[in-house]
């Protein structure tokens, strides 16, 4: 039986799953896999399964935000997922971090979807073993990484970036950034806390691997070839990180 939204079945996926917000980033990632097979492209969910250095890996997109990310997580879990890596981009609150990796140890749950699963007192925490593997993988490509705390929110134009309407409404976007900086938060995204929370509840090893493409309120951002190269590297690190994780397990 195929899942309602992603269209996947137990025979379609590997136990290692990479989640990408952008459906077209999935197509880029396929270039680094052997014999990628398109499973389905329904709504925002673009799914392939293929091999990477002998390991069966599934990649699927979630679109933007926690509600659709939770649907993807649920349906991949139903099909047998055991390890989940969110691969995406992040807005940084730290200067001079464009192009750096953020691999948060935990995230503030300011999105609403995870609250439909469990009380806010339950923490959104990544798997420490996966974090360490991803750290080492990033170091192997001579890039910087940050293991801080992220904040996951629902409202892009209410919390993360000014718009015509936010200005007309006299909404102070900077208030969010100032508060989070005081709390020592490194970056803001729209999915990580939900996926980390569900991963813990499902006993699925979960982590977030993101690359900084914009600073707060888009005051600076990677563009053109710099952005393209950063996303290509993100794809490579995600796959190589899973390979390194499996290798480590086999040696234990």
In a domain, 141, yes or no: yes
Beta pairing class for 124-125 and 106-110: antiparallel
In a domain, 201, yes or no: yes
In a domain, 128, yes or no: yes
In a domain, 2, yes or no: no
In a domain, 162, yes or no: yes
* pLDDT single digits (tens) 82-138: 999 999 999 999 999 999 999 999 999 999 999 999 999 999 999 999 999 999 999
pLDDT band at 36 (very low <50, low <70, confident <90, very high): very high
- Count of domains observed in the chain: 1
In a domain, 39, yes or no: yes
In a domain, 3, yes or no: no
Question: According to the model, what pLDDT value does residue 251 have?
Answer: 75
Rounded to whole angstroms, the Cα distance separating 40 from 71 reads 15
* pLDDT single digits (tens) 171-230: 999 999 999 999 999 999 999 999 999 999 999 999 999 999 999 999 999 999 999 999
pTM above 0.85, yes or no: yes
User: Is residue 70 scored above 80 in pLDDT?
Assistant: yes
Question: According to the model, what pLDDT value does residue 249 have?
Answer: 77
User: Is residue 40 scored above 80 in pLDDT?
Assistant: yes
pLDDT band at 52 (very low <50, low <70, confident <90, very high): very high
* pLDDT single digits (tens) 150-162: 999 999 999 999 9
* Full residue range of the structural domain in which residue 102 is found: 16-251
Question: According to the model, what pLDDT value does residue 248 have?
Answer: 85
In a domain, 27, yes or no: yes
What's the CATH number where 77 sits? 3.40.50.1580
């Amino acid at each position: 039986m195929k899942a309602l939204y992603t269209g996947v079945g137990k025979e379609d996926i590997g136990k290692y799953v990479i989640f990408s917000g952008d459906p077209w980033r999935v197509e880029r990632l396929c270039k680094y896999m052997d014999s990628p097979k398109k499973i389905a492209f329904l709504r925002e969910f673009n799914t392939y399964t293929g091999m990477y250095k002998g390991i069966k890996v599934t990649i699927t997109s979630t679109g933007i935000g926690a509600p659709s990310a939770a649907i993807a997580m649920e349906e991949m879990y139903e099909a047998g997922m055991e390890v989940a890596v969110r691969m995406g981009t992040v807005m940084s609150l730290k200067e001079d971090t464009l192009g750096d990796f953020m691999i948060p140890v935990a995230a503030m749950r300011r999105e609403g979807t995870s609250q439909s699963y469990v009380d806010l007192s339950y923490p959104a925490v990544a798997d420490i073993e996966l974090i360490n593997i991803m750290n080492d993988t990033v170091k192997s490509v001579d890039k910087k990484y940050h293991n801080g705390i992220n904040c996951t929110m629902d409202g892009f134009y209410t919390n993360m970036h000014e718009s015509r309407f936010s200005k007309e409404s006299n909404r102070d976007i900077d208030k969010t950034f100032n508060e989070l900086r005081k709390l020592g938060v490194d970056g803001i995204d729209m999915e990580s806390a939900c996926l980390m929370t569900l991963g813990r509840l499902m006993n699925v090893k979960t982590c977030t691997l993101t690359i900084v493409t914009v600073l707060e309120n888009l005051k600076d951002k990677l563009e053109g070839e710099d952005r393209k190269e950063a996303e290509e590297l993100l794809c490579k690190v995600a796959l190589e990180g899973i390979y390194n994780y499996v290798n480590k397990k086999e040696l234990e």
